[in-house]
Amino acid sequence: MVAGASTAQPRAEIAPAATNFNVVFERETTSGNADVIITTEQGKPQRDLTANDAANDSAPSFSPTGKRIVFTSDRTGHFALWTMNPEGGDQRLLTRSRGSDVNPAWSPNGQQIAFASNASGNWDIWVVNANGKGRRNLTHDSATELDAAWSPNSSRVIFDRIVGRRSDIWAVSVKSGRQKRPTNLTPGSSIDELDPSLSKTGRLAFDAVDKKGNYDIYVIDRGKHVPIRLTRNRAEDSTPVWSPDGTRLLFVSARTGDYDIFEMNADGSNVRNVSRDHIVADVAPNWAGPAPGRARQARTLAATFPCGSPLGTLGNDDGSSHPTVQGDGGANRLCGRAGDDVVHGNAGNDLIDGGGGNDKLFGDGGSDTIYARAGTVRDSDTIWGGAGSDMAYYDPGKDVVKADVEYKRTTS
């Protein structure tokens, strides 16, 4: 549904805003314009990132790392794509065209942004590099094509294709673009599908209108063709978006009397209101963090990482055999030992070393550097960077790693 040149950012720039703020959406304000709102998964607190202008700022989409947000704005007199940081600062014009550029979606690999544009005289799907260069048209025909989303490996863009009164979900290769005919992902369906989203495992979510004119959320499992209905509500449920881990969906619902952002599990259970606003319309939700299907960005690095490395002003330095180590709000140097440790950095830019054993290492807030050593090849460590720009180092083993940059260490 149509809603109304970047370089790498310094790590310190986004750290204050990143803590727990993992949902963005568009809010139609009481002044009559639209703004971009950022909040937590719990729905509070909420910040208006574009409150200082009277333009319509809509359809936000996070970059995979959560360091930038792309959105649509008409502040120049027509709709174009802009980017900003998660605090609402450093706003930059990304696209310029003779038409309107709307509804952007950042690719899982962070390299491109897909969007809908009528610059060629018809609504088509386009892509542009994340720095604003390399703009090109992926579709070009008489159909109306909107609501771009990405496949997990960033190789295809999926979208609505509307012909007359019928709508289906289609996909087109980013590499081949107009040289290869788009593929219909929902052929022969008896319902009209809109607003697609693909999970990391390839589950297709969308909204569709039934014979009574009511919109609900559906999913199609990978390799299947039969839609599974997740919501059954007399009010409109639309615009589903998969969480980065593929276990939950954000969506828009009018079940409270106006449009709010809701969340539910992947099977349709545990529905709850996120935006909790009963005055104005909240639409176009999007998640922060690694996009669905983002491949692990592990790199091989030969390096030393001694636990005693200095890191600014040191806080707690617990080298004892206690199984749990807690940092404070400062910059901590936290060291586990050979046992099975649980280490929390908490707020601050921390250096965390698990030592040997099966460790659980949590950076929590701040820009953290975390290292899980392998005492044996059977070691099974868990590293969670949390908010901020984190670096994780891990030796061979059965490790679960979630951080912004990951380095798999070698023995040399």
pTM of the model: 0.67
* pLDDT score for 364: 56
| Cα 341 to Cα 356: distance, rounded to the nearest angstrom | 9
DSSP 179: G
- Residue for token pair 């490395």: 309
Confirm if 262 and 248 have CB atoms less than 8 A apart. Answer: no
Tens-digit pLDDT profile for residues 70-83: 999 999 988 999 99
Task: Give the residue among 152, 108, 145 at the shortest CA–CA distance from 130.
Answer: 108
Tens-digit pLDDT profile for residues 34-47: 999 999 888 888 99
Which residues, 6 or more positions from 68, have their beta carbon under 8 angstroms from its beta carbon? 6, 9, 62, 83, 84, 85, 86, 106, 130
**Cα dihedral 239, 243, 246, 251 in deg (nearest 10):** -20
Regions of the chain with pLDDT less than 70: 1-20, 176-180, 289-412
Confirm if 191 and 227 have CB atoms less than 8 A apart. Answer: yes
The continuous run of DSSP H or E covering 16 comes out as: helix 11-18
* pLDDT score for 371: 57
**Cα dihedral 94, 98, 102, 108 in deg (nearest 10):** -50
| Cα 297 to Cα 97: distance, rounded to the nearest angstrom | 34
Confirm if 372 and 385 have CB atoms less than 8 A apart. Answer: no
**Cα dihedral 191, 192, 198, 204 in deg (nearest 10):** 10
